Amino acid sequence: MIDALPARGVPAEQVLAELRRLRESDLPTHGGRLFAYVYDSDVAGLDELALRAYDISAHVNGLDPTAFPSLLAMENALVAAAGSRLGGGPGTTAPAVVGSVTSGGTESLLLAVKAARDAATTRSPRIVVPSTAHAAFAKAAHYLRVELDVVPVGADLRADVAATADRIGPDTVLVVGSAPSYAHGVIDPISELAALAQERGVRFHVDGCFGGWVMPYLRDLGADIPPFGFEVPGVTSISVDLHKYAYAPKGVSVLLHRDAELRLPQYFAYAGWPGYTMINPVVSSTRSGGPIAAALATLRHLGGDGYRALATKTQEAVEILASAVTETPGVRLYAPPVIVVCLATDPDVDPFVLADELAALGWHTQPQMAYGQLPPTIHLTVTAAVRATATDFAADLAAAVTATRKRGPIPLPPLLGDLTPEMITPDLIGGLALQLGLEPGAPPGPMAAVNSLLNVAPPALREALLTGFLSLLQRPSW
Ligand SMILES: *Cc1c(COP(=O)(O)O)cnc(C)c1O
């Protein structure tokens, strides 16, 4: 238990030692063996540089760029860098691209939806997204009271253009495509979707949060990456997370618009109170300059040649992991690997047990539950650091599959019965957690039992169960 407010202050070195000890129970953020949550460049000194940059600007407040022009200059530089990587800026067909630095992909998407909603005149705004679009669009729709029209993807996991055309109506304010999707790493038919949206006079957002930064480099290396930036007519906005494949510390994404007029409804302005007139381009008002300075330092230090080298390592790591999957009986690639290696399993190989077996061997993957017609899969986000460990994967994957077959699927405890989301109470969740041996605050352990249970729960029940469980974890440590 941590006492955040001891009666007598604790010496600095002791506080840091305590923090280091706490971190020991986390998954390893470095070392190329965690395939979600973290993006590791494995470039010596890069983390230290970012932290020193963070330190310089930590107390600067992005609330007012006229008071802190350093932050404005850094943001404008990051937007220029992202814009020019994605088909905008001087000498392109989208010379007027503008943008904002946000705290992350979710905020970028929220703001793209807000701008589209507020630019439109309809009183019942709707957005059309492929079923593989990131959950942040559902969150944006929920927060902003916009209806979400979800269009099932085709057998190739790409957005279905004809079905999208059918769903665009008079109240549609935004159409969305991913480049690529998070779950499978698949690139939607951006040109076709954008043309469709343009024809109907609707905004079109490219969610490049995940791979928007690295894919142009992969294309330069010869990968078959179709155009997805502002060079594509009809693309009105693009999001790209710098805290993913630009390898900046967490808290930085960029939302780009084709021109300043498209961005205007993104702002919130309020002069109707006795304090300062508040003009916010993003959700936060007070915000630290730390993440922005850290991102700028990361980009400038790596430079084009650095990112090219990191893209090469990533591409090699993807190829090595993908052939390990192809060559291991019992598992197969579920989607063409670009930056994600997504694998599906044979019926006698339980994917949730396999994820546990891989974790026991030190490979921390991300199991994905069944969704509609799509089976459960295992997701690996591959970053540059994986290049150093990739060649060890094949043998461990084969061993994990063998162990998984031997264990067989997890027998499902009849815990859920006729449970409905309305029946979930804190007491019920507490009882379930006990039966499943889930201890609040314990380090991550075998999850197959929990995952198998959640996998058969309808989405609304899964949401309620996990919300209840998170609420159980998030209790003050008196
Ligand atoms: C990560 C991601 C997001 C959300 O970004 P956060 O930074 O986690 O808020 C949105 N879209 C895609 C495709 C992503 O991969």
Q: How far is the CA of 17 from the centre of ligand 1 (A)?
A: 32
Can you give the pLDDT at residue 441?
67
Which domains, from first to last, does the chain contain? 61-287 (3.40.640.10), 304-407 (3.90.1150.10), 421-473 (no CATH)
In angstroms, the CA 91 to CA 192 distance is 24
Taking the whole predicted model, whether its pTM rises above 0.85 is answered as: yes
Is there a cis peptide before residue 180, judged by omega within 30 degrees of 0? yes
Q: How far is the CA of 399 from the centre of ligand 1 (A)?
A: 32
Pocket around ligand 1: residues whose beta carbon is below 6 Å from it?
104-106, 109, 134, 136, 178, 182, 207, 209-210, 241, 253
Q: Which of 110, 109, 137, 132 is nearest to 182 (CA)?
A: 132
Q: Which of 373, 334, 380 is nearest to 355 (CA)?
A: 380
Q: Contact 381/340 with Cβ under 8 angstroms?
A: yes
Q: How far is the CA of 68 from the centre of ligand 1 (A)?
A: 28
Label the pairing between strands 126-130 and 147-151.
parallel
Q: Which of 98, 100, 123, 122 is nearest to 111 (CA)?
A: 100
Q: Which of 292, 251, 320 is nearest to 103 (CA)?
A: 251
In angstroms, the CA 179 to CA 282 distance is 23
Q: Which of 107, 143, 241, 244 to mutate to test the pocket of ligand 1 (most atoms within 8 A of CB)?
A: 241
In angstroms, the CA 230 to CA 211 distance is 15
| Ligand 1 atom with the shortest distance to the CA of 253 | 7
What b/e sequence results for 88-124 when a residue is b if at least 16 CB atoms lie within 10 Å of its CB, and e otherwise? Answer: bbeebebebbbbbbbbbbbbbbbbbbbbbbebbeeee
Q: Contact 270/239 with Cβ under 8 angstroms?
A: no
**Mean pLDDT split into 10-residue runs, the chain, 478 residues:** 95 98 94 96 98 97 93 98 98 98 98 98 98 98 98 98 98 98 98 98 98 98 97 98 98 98 98 97 97 98 98 98 98 98 97 97 97 96 98 98 93 78 90 80 79 90 92 90
Q: Contact 125/147 with Cβ under 8 angstroms?
A: yes
Q: How far is the CA of 183 from the centre of ligand 1 (A)?
A: 11
In angstroms, the CA 337 to CA 321 distance is 9
Q: Which of 103, 129, 209 to mutate to test the pocket of ligand 1 (most atoms within 8 A of CB)?
A: 209
**Tokens for 11?**
């010496």
In angstroms, the CA 345 to CA 350 distance is 7
Place of tokens 């019920």: 428
Q: Is 242 left (phi over 0), alpha (psi -120 to 50) or beta?
A: alpha
Q: Contact 256/86 with Cβ under 8 angstroms?
A: yes
Can you give the pLDDT at residue 338?
97
| Ligand 1 atom with the shortest distance to the CA of 241 | 7
Within a 10 A sphere around the Cβ of 375, how many other Cβ atoms? 14
Place of tokens 């998407």: 109
Q: Which of 151, 212, 202 is nearest to 172 (CA)?
A: 202
Residue whose CA lies nearest to ligand 1 atom number 5: 105
| Ligand 1 atom with the shortest distance to the CA of 210 | 15
Can you give the pLDDT at residue 419?
87
Separation of first and last alpha carbons in the chain: 8
Q: How far is the CA of 253 from the centre of ligand 1 (A)?
A: 9
Tell me the DSSP string of 194-233: HHHHHHTT-EEEEE-TTTTTTHHHHHHTT------STTST
In angstroms, the CA 9 to CA 321 distance is 49
